[in-house]
């Protein structure tokens, strides 16, 4: 889910469980989507991307799903580890160039 | 393999002072983006350069902000005069058509505090 202001939505999971982070995007004309991970004190780090002509893309322990009908993007993390604790941002590209619009972010908290 | 480099990592200054933030792109990249991150507004694009030319500066807050690319691998973001509401973390990111990728790679950020 998305949020504005000071309070990010938080997803709490147990270590070893699968995590699903959701994102609603705004522009049906967006053609490219990215998930970034941001750890405390660091810059956003690229995780995985997907183009609008795809529904699913898999990486190492991560899968991104795209549902263009409802303008929804999700990030699935398999076997979540403590090192996965961070804020996760989805971003969409809808401009004529590589301009990304970022969501508000979701905080993932992994508990032992 | 060096990523995007930003300096300084932290800057504390007083209201009215000039602040200059610096960014070195990843070698071979030709697109440069400056972002500002705050708790209230999240990540906002300030300005985008392609091949050293500013393409979109619609996100620059006001005339107190200016950005330059004196060469293909380096950029500066200047705030003059600075105000407390400019306090934020400033990121630059680069991407490169040369590598046939649209992915923007972010630097570690500069945390700016204006007192």
Closest residue, chain A, to B102 (C-alpha): A98
What pLDDT band is residue A99 in, cutting at 50, 70 and 90? confident
Closest residue, chain B, to A43 (C-alpha): B108
Higher pLDDT, B114 or A28: B114
What pLDDT band is residue A4 in, cutting at 50, 70 and 90? very low
What pairing do the DSSP bridges indicate for beta strands A72-77 and A62-67? antiparallel
Residues of chain A neighbouring B105 (CB-CB closer than 8 A): 46
Higher pLDDT, B4 or A100: B4
Return the pLDDT at A73. Answer: 95
Residues of chain B neighbouring A36 (CB-CB closer than 8 A): 106
Residues of chain B neighbouring A6 (CB-CB closer than 8 A): 39-40
Give B81-94 pLDDT, tens digit per residue: 999 999 999 999 99
Output Rg (C-alpha) for chain B, integer angstroms: 13
Percentage helix, strand, coil for chain A under 3-state DSSP, each rounded to 5: 5, 50, 45
Closest residue, chain A, to B10 (C-alpha): A41
Residues of chain A neighbouring B45 (CB-CB closer than 8 A): 99-100
Mean pLDDT of B44-60: 93
Question: How far is residue B77 from each of residues A1, A44, B16, B94, B105, measured CA to CA in Å?
Answer: 33, 19, 16, 14, 18
CB contact under 8 A, B31 and A46: no
Higher pLDDT, B24 or B103: B24
Give B1-48 pLDDT, tens digit per residue: 679 999 999 999 999 999 999 999 999 898 999 999 998 889 999 999
Return the pLDDT at B100. Answer: 40
Give A33-75 pLDDT, tens digit per residue: 999 999 999 999 999 999 999 999 999 999 999 999 999 999 9
d(CA B17, CA A74): 43
Of A89, A95, A99, nearest to B43 by CB-CB distance is: A89
Return the pLDDT at B96. Answer: 83
CB contact under 8 A, A43 and B91: yes
Give A5-22 pLDDT, tens digit per residue: 456 899 999 999 999 999
CB contact under 8 A, B45 and A99: yes
Higher pLDDT, B98 or A79: A79
């Amino acid at each position: 889910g998305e949020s504005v202001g000071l309070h990010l939505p938080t997803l709490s999971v147990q270590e070893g469980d699968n995590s699903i982070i959701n994102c609603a995007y705004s522009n049906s004309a967006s053609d490219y989507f990215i998930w970034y991970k941001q750890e405390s004190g660091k810059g956003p780090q690229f995780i995985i991307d997907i183009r609008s002509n795809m529904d699913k893309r898999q990486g190492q322990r991560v899968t991104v799903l795209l549902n263009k009908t409802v303008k929804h993007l999700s990030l699935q993390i398999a076997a979540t580890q403590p090192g996965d604790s961070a804020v996760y941002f989805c971003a969409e590209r809808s401009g004529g160039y590589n301009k990304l619009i970022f969501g508000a972010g979701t905080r993932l908290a992994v508990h032992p | 393999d060096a990523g995007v480099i930003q300096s300084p990592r932290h800057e504390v200054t007083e209201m009215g002072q000039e602040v200059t933030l610096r960014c070195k792109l990843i070698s071979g990249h030709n697109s440069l983006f400056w972002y500002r991150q705050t708790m209230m507004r999240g990540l906002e694009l300030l300005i985008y350069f392609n091949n050293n030319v500013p393409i979109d500066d619609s996100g620059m807050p006001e005339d107190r902000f200016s950005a330059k690319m004196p060469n293909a691998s380096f950029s500066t973001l200047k705030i003059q005069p600075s105000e407390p509401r400019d306090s934020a973390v400033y990121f630059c990111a680069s991407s490169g058509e040369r590598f046939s990728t649209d992915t923007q790679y972010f630097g570690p950020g500069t945390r700016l505090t204006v007192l």
